[in-house]
Chain A
């Protein structure tokens, strides 16, 4: 960043960029609303692929199609190699495209990127991965500039949470080389949360969000505490087994077997690189179609030995054969919640992000893991959900529009660890109220894992008859209360088993009778008392407003008064 001269805040044209390993997106904001831009081909998810044919550079879907005819001069899945040493990279996905090679301790690709000149063959050139990234980003930024009609000068990029400093530096350098200033790198899960929270109808609330970013080659899940619009990542998990390509693989295997069944004399298309590439492209298209419709066709011309192949698959069949992968997603989400020290009951919202999240089954499975009160934000479960593929780019664009007026120095200072590292309270702070049954219950005002300083206000009802009221400020914590079910009659059990046989993949999630399950509840436990205050002479049916302000040094200021009345009580609890 030091060498690259940024643009003055007033003259920036900013966009949000999601530079993914499989697909990338670009987004901009118009009237505080984020919109994802389409490139020249009309794609909003632009495959992260570069291809060279006779010295001509192709990118995006056009380049991806060249994986069949021109795999050696096509570079794909290179984002994760940025800033890595050769010994640390996983070249699995590059098997069907240009292979990564070691050069100067980094990763590079050898492609023929120049046209042959008058019968003379030009030597292929070896491009370091940073150069590939720069070329790709230049095209991406060029598409955005064309779309906007203005030269894009600056951008906010999203990155996975496990990007190292070296990878970040490599990404920034590649972007700078492509002629764009990097305003900020933001974490992908946070970008997704921001995209949802920035909708005009969204309300700022305290919630725990699980962001499941299911991509093409990797899945990242993060637990994010959203407290008054500020986000803290509590735990993350990264998985390279259960991702979009795993689903493609299942479809490839399925159709390859079917092809062999129909044409017993034909060769296995999976053993021929070209046939496999055709299968892979078509499997991905079929997978997408299955996310929308209940049936999808699969057809490849001249799949193997010149034989055309056409078939269909319905969603149920697909969900059956892909069950192992779907369950992998479930386990991944459960593990990360456990890692954060939370329970599924603590989760208020699940955001599905990334292309694979379009699959309805995944959202349905998550719905089964989490309690009913948890919102699952996926297109199949929530009509107001944002397209999961666009979430991150939108979040980045929103962040870009928020900080475009800031000097680079200001941004640096605001994102400095001194500002971002703050204490998060271990216990919730709230007041004691009396439930109908006369029990003391905890009413949380500031939930746990809230960054301090924090301020929250609630209004709480006074006793029916009014009079003098006690405001008892206490700490609270949750625990999970498990109620064992009553033993069940035998025949019911049997019926259940038959049920399960009908649809074998449904039995886990589709527990129709709650009695069979243990009943789990989240219960607040009242902890130590912080302060007590008295409000005298509250009117009948009146309300009391309690404001709790936790300072950075953990001292607590309690302000309380009757709603509509003057005066009130204010006191400080020292840290």
Chain B
């Protein structure tokens, strides 16, 4: 803020006024109201800066001044101050096609990155140094060769069209693809990304995806290769034309030259495309990331397959186990049935034998009892008794037969035997299996 000047004078110091260091604090400021500043305008920004960094006015002034000074300095320093090659100073202006324009202007570290402003400033600086009038002052008359080189360089670089033509063939800006030996030392991504960064200057489309590093995602890597395999380049090769058609030549000659040039350009362009393609092929061939992604993809696919196979195997095993179990069960059942059958057969035979034996006992018993006759039994009596015995044996069950046989077995006395038989007949008659009149001999 400008300092205001007030013409009304200050009062004269009263006689006898004294204070320590000529300053006397008397009162106090009478307070303030809290209000909200509008956060707008350069002065508010300065206030915000002071408030946020807790600076006082003078501190802030100093820091701002320093920052400003630094900026000016860096600008000056970044100014083009490359050493000039004495060989370059000897160049003839007519060989301008082969000169490195950036080097002539001393901005070879920027090259295609140099801004128009930088070129202008570089030109001015070089002109100040190499102007022929200055050389003439130093006694070297007619020494304007390098000055013409400078003018030509500026002419080429300040016209965007010719600058592109020159940038297209600027070999100094090229980054050679890494050799196998270099790659063997590692740094794969760094080396290749430098190559593609340099190559990216020809791209019509921006932004150009970067090569990335070992940690790039699959999408990034794919985007990179997609972009570069479909690279749209503005690179052209007019600058390398061997003959420039001259207005003095006749029309046919001119056309011929033009055609020749066009063909040469086309050929070079095709070569350039092929070169870029080869670069990409080389880069992708050694790209560990692609291999890794492929492996990962394969792993994912294999995983699925293996899982499926495992599931199938498991199912088959389960089915086999089930079948085996079923078979075992069937076999067991069959064997059991067979054993049962055989046991049954044996038991039957045994029962049959027992029954035969019992029957024999029964028949024997009546014989032992002399057919319940006193003296020799008549044939009729024998028959009648045996008939009854046969009848009872036919009527009673196997176990009853066994019981009866057990009762009769060992009995020798005729009465006892008769009593047993009688009891048996009575039991059977009681049970209703035999009618009382059917039994004649035994019930007597």
A205 touches B12 (CB 8 A): no
> Is there a chain B Cβ closer than 8 Å to A475's Cβ?
yes
B214 CB → nearest A CB, Å:
26
A470 touches B10 (CB 8 A): yes
B8 touches A443 (CB 8 A): yes
A230 to B37, CA, bound (A): 7
Contact with A along B46-69 (1 / 0, CB 8 A): 011111100011000000000000
A3 CB → nearest B CB, Å:
23
Contact with A along B87-111 (1 / 0, CB 8 A): 0000000000000000000000000
Contact with A along B35-46 (1 / 0, CB 8 A): 111111111110
**Which residues of B sit under 8 angstroms from A574, Cβ to Cβ?**
25, 28
**Which residues of A sit under 8 angstroms from B29, Cβ to Cβ?**
425, 427, 429, 475, 530, 550, 554-556, 573, 575
Known A425-B32, A426-B32: A572·B25 in contact at CB below 8 Å:
yes
Known A419-B52, A534-B17, A570-B23: A402·B30 in contact at CB below 8 Å:
no
Contact with B along A552-565 (1 / 0, CB 8 A): 00111010000000
A432 to B7, CA, bound (A): 13
**Which residues of B sit under 8 angstroms from A532, Cβ to Cβ?**
17, 19, 23-24, 26
Number of residue pairs A-B, CB distance < 8 angstroms: 235
Known A186-B38, A205-B1, A575-B29: A431·B24 in contact at CB below 8 Å:
no
A419 to B29, CA, bound (A): 22
A459 touches B5 (CB 8 A): yes
B84 CB → nearest A CB, Å:
34
**Which residues of B sit under 8 angstroms from A187, Cβ to Cβ?**
38, 40
Q: Which residue of B lies closest to A527 (CB)?
A: B30
> Is there a chain A Cβ closer than 8 Å to B14's Cβ?
yes
Known A190-B38, A451-B37: A463·B52 in contact at CB below 8 Å:
no
Contact with B along A448-462 (1 / 0, CB 8 A): 010111011111111
A333 CB → nearest B CB, Å:
20
B2 touches A203 (CB 8 A): yes
- How many interface residues does B have (CB within 8 Å)? 49
A431 touches B10 (CB 8 A): yes
Main secondary structure of the interface of A (DSSP, over half): strand
**Which residues of A sit under 8 angstroms from B35, Cβ to Cβ?**
232, 234, 421-424, 449, 451
Q: Which residues 4-22 of B have a CB within 8 angstroms of A?
A: 4-14, 17, 19, 21-22
> Is there a chain B Cβ closer than 8 Å to A385's Cβ?
no
> Is there a chain A Cβ closer than 8 Å to B3's Cβ?
yes
Known A229-B44, A415-B39, A453-B57: A463·B12 in contact at CB below 8 Å:
yes
B1 touches A204 (CB 8 A): yes
B6 touches A463 (CB 8 A): no
B28 touches A403 (CB 8 A): no
B41 touches A530 (CB 8 A): no
A455 to B55, CA, bound (A): 13
**Which residues of A sit under 8 angstroms from B57, Cβ to Cβ?**
453, 455, 549
Known A194-B40, A399-B40: A470·B14 in contact at CB below 8 Å:
yes
Contact with A along B397-412 (1 / 0, CB 8 A): 0000000000000000
Contact of A419 among B5, B8, B34, B48 (CB under 8 A): B48
> Is there a chain A Cβ closer than 8 Å to B83's Cβ?
no
A534 touches B19 (CB 8 A): yes
A434 touches B27 (CB 8 A): no
Contact of B11 among A418, A434, A531, A550 (CB under 8 A): A434
**Which residues of B sit under 8 angstroms from A468, Cβ to Cβ?**
12-13
> Is there a chain A Cβ closer than 8 Å to B31's Cβ?
yes
> Is there a chain B Cβ closer than 8 Å to A535's Cβ?
yes
> Is there a chain A Cβ closer than 8 Å to B33's Cβ?
yes
B43 touches A229 (CB 8 A): yes
A197 touches B24 (CB 8 A): no
Q: Which residue of A lies closest to B33 (CB)?
A: A424
Known A186-B38, A532-B26: A435·B8 in contact at CB below 8 Å:
yes
Known A229-B44, A460-B6, A573-B29: A536·B22 in contact at CB below 8 Å:
yes
A420 touches B3 (CB 8 A): no
B1 touches A191 (CB 8 A): no
**Which residues of B sit under 8 angstroms from A440, Cβ to Cβ?**
11
Contact of B41 among A203, A402, A431 (CB under 8 A): A402
B45 touches A403 (CB 8 A): yes
Contact with B along A534-552 (1 / 0, CB 8 A): 1110000001110001100
B39 touches A420 (CB 8 A): yes
B27 touches A573 (CB 8 A): yes
Q: Which residue of A lies closest to B12 (CB)?
A: A463
A458 touches B11 (CB 8 A): no
B8 touches A451 (CB 8 A): no
A463 touches B10 (CB 8 A): yes
A503 CB → nearest B CB, Å:
41
> Is there a chain B Cβ closer than 8 Å to A61's Cβ?
no
B25 CB → nearest A CB, Å:
5
B38 touches A467 (CB 8 A): no
B30 touches A470 (CB 8 A): no
Q: Which residue of B lies closest to A568 (CB)?
A: B22
B47 touches A451 (CB 8 A): yes
Contact of A463 among B11, B26, B38 (CB under 8 A): B11
Contact of B32 among A415, A417, A419, A423 (CB under 8 A): A423
B12 touches A414 (CB 8 A): no
A469 touches B12 (CB 8 A): yes
Contact of A421 among B9, B17, B36 (CB under 8 A): B36
A186 touches B39 (CB 8 A): yes
Contact with B along A153-167 (1 / 0, CB 8 A): 000000000000000
A8 CB → nearest B CB, Å:
13
A124 to B355, CA, bound (A): 110
A230 touches B25 (CB 8 A): no
> Is there a chain B Cβ closer than 8 Å to A569's Cβ?
yes
B39 touches A184 (CB 8 A): yes
**Which residues of B sit under 8 angstroms from A205, Cβ to Cβ?**
1
B17 touches A191 (CB 8 A): no
A450 CB → nearest B CB, Å:
9
B186 CB → nearest A CB, Å:
33
**Which residues of A sit under 8 angstroms from B28, Cβ to Cβ?**
528, 530, 573-575
A530 touches B27 (CB 8 A): yes
A503 to B26, CA, bound (A): 58
A530 touches B26 (CB 8 A): yes
A470 touches B17 (CB 8 A): yes
Most chain A C-beta atoms within 10 Å of own C-beta, residue among B7, B10, B31: B10
A536 to B13, CA, bound (A): 8
> Is there a chain B Cβ closer than 8 Å to A395's Cβ?
yes
Q: Which residue of B lies closest to A535 (CB)?
A: B22
> Is there a chain B Cβ closer than 8 Å to A233's Cβ?
yes
Q: Which residue of B lies closest to A468 (CB)?
A: B13
> Is there a chain B Cβ closer than 8 Å to A272's Cβ?
no
A285 to B429, CA, bound (A): 144
B45 touches A414 (CB 8 A): yes
**Which residues of A sit under 8 angstroms from B12, Cβ to Cβ?**
463, 467-470
A407 to B11, CA, bound (A): 52
Q: Which residue of B lies closest to A436 (CB)?
A: B8
Most chain A C-beta atoms within 10 Å of own C-beta, residue among B31, B39, B45, B50: B39
B175 CB → nearest A CB, Å:
26
Closest 6 CB pairs of A and B: A229-B43, A571-B23, A423-B32, A468-B13, A414-B48, A415-B39
Interface set of A (CB-CB < 8 Å, partner B): 184, 186-187, 190-191, 194, 197-198, 203-205, 224, 228-234, 395, 398-399, 402-403, 413-415, 417-427, 429, 431-435, 440-441, 443, 449, 451-453, 455-464, 467-472, 475, 527-536, 543-545, 549-550, 554-556, 558, 569-575
Given contacts A415-B39, A422-B34, A460-B9, 8 further A-B contacts (CB under 8 A): A413-B52, A424-B32, A427-B30, A433-B9, A460-B10, A463-B9, A469-B13, A573-B26
Q: Name 12 interchain pairs, CB-CB below 8 A, sorted by A.
A: A190-B38, A229-B42, A230-B41, A231-B37, A232-B35, A415-B48, A419-B47, A425-B32, A429-B29, A433-B9, A434-B10, A461-B7
